Amino acid sequence: GAGVSQSPSNKVTEKGKDVELRCDPISGHTALYWYRQSLGQGLEFLIYFQGNSAPDKSGLPSDRFSAERTGGSVSTLTIQRTQQEDSAVYLCASSSSPGSGGYTFGSGTRLTVV
Amino acid sequence: DQQVKQNSPSLSVQEGRISILNCDYTNSMFDYFLWYKKYPAEGPTFLISISSIKDKNEDGRFTVFLNKSAKHLSLHIVPSQPGDSAVYFCAASAHSGNTPLVFGKGTRLSVIA
């Protein structure tokens, strides 16, 4: 596609429920990143996929968070048993290769846990 | 432990004047630095970058300066325009960008007409 697409744009969920957030990167981009921005905070790195390599999961805050990238394209971020502190904007970005310079970000998914 | 720090949460500048946004970093392995601009309800967009082998990079109204010894970089916008009003994020990476970017908390710039 022309840009990075994320869905849904907004999600309100009850505490304890599981949620899935989707990212459709730019076609051909081999690197895909998930970040989140909590209120008043910067962008916090979560996870990074590069080609067929094992993902860098070093930023995931707990084992309730997981992500996969199928076929080197679409990625899904799953949060199990959501907590109120999970409320944030979840941003996905892709790039043509690591070190290529800027990432292209999607518009994000605003997650609210009530 | 913040590796990239933007100590000014907000900045207000008159149209036509210079905007200077500052960023400090602590990790001496960082060798690639970028600035992103973010409008409400949109994702950040790449603005300008600089490699540690340079101390200045210019693109139109935007110039980034890097002072490696001070671990400090700044973004200059001149002349500032109302459309520049946004949140600006500083980001850094080690190994020439082959590690995920580390972002600061951002500075909200307001350009007043």
When pLDDT is averaged across residues B87-100 and rounded to a whole number, the result is: 85
Of B41, B98, B103, the CB nearest to A107: B41
Q: Is A89 on the interface with B (CB under 8 A)?
A: no
> What is the band of A46 on the pLDDT scale with cuts at 50, 70, 90?
very high
Q: Which amino acid is at A11?
A: K
What is the rounded average pLDDT for all residues in chain B? 94
Q: Which amino acid is at B73?
A: L
- Residues A56 and B83: their CA atoms lie apart, in Å, by 36
Q: Is B14 on the interface with A (CB under 8 A)?
A: no
Confidence check: pLDDT of A105 > 60: yes
Planar angle of CA B98, B102, B107, nearest 5 degrees: 140
- The pLDDT score that the predictor gives to residue B30 is 92
- Please list every residue in chain A whose beta carbon sits closer than 8 Å to the beta carbon of residue B57: none
Within 10 A of A101 (CB to CB), how many other CB atoms are there? 13
Residues in chain A, total = 114
- The pLDDT score that the predictor gives to residue B48 is 95
Assign A39 to helix, strand or coil: coil
Per-residue pLDDT tens digits for A59-85: 999 999 999 998 879 999 999 999 999
- The pLDDT score that the predictor gives to residue A112 is 97
Q: Is A104 on the interface with B (CB under 8 A)?
A: yes
Q: How far is CA B78 from the centre of its chain?
A: 14
Per-residue pLDDT tens digits for B65-75: 999 999 999 99
- The pLDDT score that the predictor gives to residue A100 is 57
In DSSP terms, B34 is beta-bridged to B49, B91
Confidence check: pLDDT of A101 > 90: no
When pLDDT is averaged across residues A14-40 and rounded to a whole number, the result is: 94
- Residues A43 and A4: their CA atoms lie apart, in Å, by 17
- The pLDDT score that the predictor gives to residue A70 is 85
How would you classify the pairing of strands B72-77 and B19-25?
antiparallel
- The pLDDT score that the predictor gives to residue B65 is 98
